Structure 1
Amino acid sequence: MTIKTALITGTSRAAGLGYAVARQLAELGFHVVLTARDVGRAESLAEQLRQDGYAATALWLDLTERSSMREAVDHLVRTFGHLDVLINNASTMPDFRVLSALDADLDDVRSAMQVDVLGPWELVQALRPLLDAAPAARIVNVSSLTAMQIATGLDLGANLRAPAHSIGKYMLNALNTMLARAFEGTPVLVNAVDPGETATHPERADERDRPAAESARGVVWAATLDSDGPTGGLFRDGKPLL
C-alpha cells in the first residue's frame, strides 16, 4: 500500500495554520512532514501528532537556505519516493503596521519575496520528481487577501497594511498561475488559498479572526481535490475569489 504523504512548510507553532492543516491531513490518513526553520519546534508538534496516533515527521526547511531543501528532498526520496501534497504555508509579515508603499523598507520587501515567492518556486522545482512520482499530486500556495489590494485595487479600509507582505503574496498568486500552466497536461493540480483572517497569534487576535482549524479546511480542500478539480485558481473556503 502506498503511503499518502504531505509536506507543509512553516509549521512551528501550535496555534499556526500550518499545524492545523497538518493535523487535518493526518486525520485523513496522510503521513505529514512538518517543516520549519526551527526543527525543534516542528519536532515538538510532530510528536504531539504521533502521540495522538498519527504518522508525522519533522524536517529542517528554511526557504532561504538551499541546503535545507536538498536535505528535505533527500529524506523524502529515501523514505517515501513520492510526495502527494505540498503546502507552501511559510510566510513572513515584516511590515504589519506599514500603511504605504512609500514607507516600505525594501529589505522587508526582499525578505517577503524570498520567503513567499522565490523559496516556494525553488522548492517546487526541487520536489518535482517526487510530485511527478505521486499518482496525482496537489500543490497549495497559501495566499492572502492583502494581495488583492494590488491585483484589483480592493480597498481594505482600516485593514490596508503591509506593502512588503502584499507584494509577496501578489507575486505568489502569479507564481501559482505559472505553476498551474507548467503542470498542465499532468495529474498535478496547483491552487492558491486565502485562509481568511485567522487567530494564528492569539495574543493579537480580534473578534473577526476565526480559529486556525476552521481556516485550515479550505487549504485541506485544495490539497485533496479530485482529478476533475480546478487548477490555477485562488480560493477561500472552496469558493473562487477571482
Structure 2
Amino acid sequence: MKLLKIFLSIAVVGALSGCAHRINVAPELANIESLSHGFDNRSVSVGYYIPSELLSLEVTTPGGGGDNVRYFPYRDIETGYERVLSNVYSGVVKLRSTPDYSRTKQLGLDYVIQPQIVTSSGSTGFFTWPPTNFTVDLENSIRDESGTVIAAPRVVGVGTAETAERLSDHGVAGKRAMNDALSKMQAALLGLKLGAPSSNESTIKTKSPRSSSVASRLGDLNELKGKSLITEAEYEAKRKEILNSL
C-alpha cells in the first residue's frame, strides 16, 4: 500500500510539473486545393509580410497528461500560406521588411497582406502528451497603397487526432487545423473578389472618350437649332436621345 502511494505521488508530481514537447504543425501542401487554370484571378498582385520576430516566435500550448507542446506557428504555416495566396492572386511577393505602403505601386503590387495567428490545443488523453485537438485562428489584414485596411477576413481551423495517429505523428492535430484554416482562408479571399485598383482608372478612361463624343453631338445639335435647321420639338427629342445614351 505504501509503495502504491509513492507511485501515485510521483505520477501527480509529474503531471503537475509537466514538460513542453516540440512538435511540427506545418500543413500538408498536398491537401491545399489548387484552383483550375481557368480561374479568373483578376490580375491582382499582392505582397505578404510576416515580421522576422513572428517567424521565430515559439508558442507553448497544452497537450495531454499535464504536458505542453511547443511549435512555431508562423514559420510552420508560411509555405502553405504562400501557396494559398498564389492560388488566389496572379502575383505574390514576400516582403522582407516593414511595408512602405507609398511604394506599393512601384513594387508592382496592388495590396499588402499580413497574417495574424492565434493557436490553442488540448487533449482528452491523460497518459500521452500529443494533443488530440487543435485550433488555428487566422486573420488577414489587407491594406491598399495608402496603408488603409480594406478587408480583414478571419477564419478558424480545427484539427483532431485519434490515439494511434498522434502517437505516430505528434503534431497531426495541429497540421489538420492548419490545413483547415488555410482552406477556409482561400475561400474567404476568393469571396472578397478584390480587383486591382488600377481597374477603376481604366474604367474612367474608357468613359472619357464617350463623354467627349456626347458633348460633341450636343454641340452639333445646338448649332443646328441655332441655324433654325430643326424645330424645337426635334431639338428636345434628339437631346433626350443623346443624354439617354450616357
TM-score, scaled relative to structure 1:
0.29
More strand by percentage: 2
**Which one has the largest radius of gyration?**
2
TM-score, scaled relative to structure 2:
0.29
